[in-house]
Copies of this chain bind each other. A is one copy, B any other.
Amino acid sequence: MALKFLTQKIAQAIDEELFSSGGFSVDQLMELAGLSVAQAITKVYDNSKYSRVLICCGPGNNGGDGLVAARHLFHFGYKPNIFYPKQSKKELYERLVIQCQSLEIPIVTELSNSSLTNDNDLIVDALFGFSFTGEIRPPFDEVIQKLKVTNIPPIVSVDIPSGWDVEKGNVNNHGLKPSMLISLTAPKLCANYFNGKHFLGGRFIPPGLKEKYELNLPLYPGTDQVVDITDLPSEKL
């Protein structure tokens, strides 16, 4: 049974069920999502070589996952920096920022081209997730342009590569070209067009949801919150 890749609509339906009938809070699932992102990074990018990690956070949940990942990366021995230009006024996000500030993780709202290339060993793209639709608005249009230039460090995308259509992939080459993707809960259809290192996070889906949506999720090893699905056979929904 091949792993199922999700349409945007199904991904949203699963997300809603986790919060309604599943009883989860955003705090909880964001904590586990961010932890899985940080853990996947440790498996590919060792902190001795990729110490300086710039986490680029968008205005929504994907950005929140990035803020949580930054905190765990700090505890895993990395030196995270956060770029967070449009900061949410929601209480949860304000607390996630405080948590990073208490670790003295620098948070900036502007990206300079030179520092992007010279001051970072790795970039985490936590700009947009599976719920993204429409046009990319300022300042993120410019951010994505900057992140698309060559000679930047490898990019790790959270859930979907930012700028990609959730289902159709990197339409018109508008999006980033990450080296690694961490799909959350289940991969979205756009991941069919991704060829790099691919991890799955979200070890919290109840069996009932797995069956209802025929997710055919792989087994997670040990107590890991992520599983390497780079070479796993997949099936479009």
What residues make up the interface of A, taking CB atoms closer than 8 Å to B? Answer: 21-25, 27-28, 31-32, 38-39, 42, 71-72, 75-76, 92, 94-99, 101-104, 203-204, 206-208, 220, 222-223
Contact = CB atoms under 8 A, between A and B. Distances in A.
If over half of A's interface residues share one DSSP class (helix, strand or loop), that class is named, otherwise mixed; here it is helix
Nearest to A204: B75
Given A23-B97, A23-B98, 18 more contacts: A21-B98, A22-B99, A22-B102, A23-B94, A23-B96, A23-B101, A25-B27, A25-B95, A28-B28, A28-B31, A39-B223, A42-B223, A71-B204, A75-B203, A75-B204, A75-B220, A76-B223, A104-B207
6 contacts: A22-B99, A22-B102, A25-B95, A39-B223, A42-B223, A76-B223
Nearest to A209: B102
How many copies of this kind of chain does the complex include?
A: 2
Contact of A103 (B71, B101, B207): B207
Contacts of A21: 98, 102
Contacts of A223: 38-39, 42, 72, 76
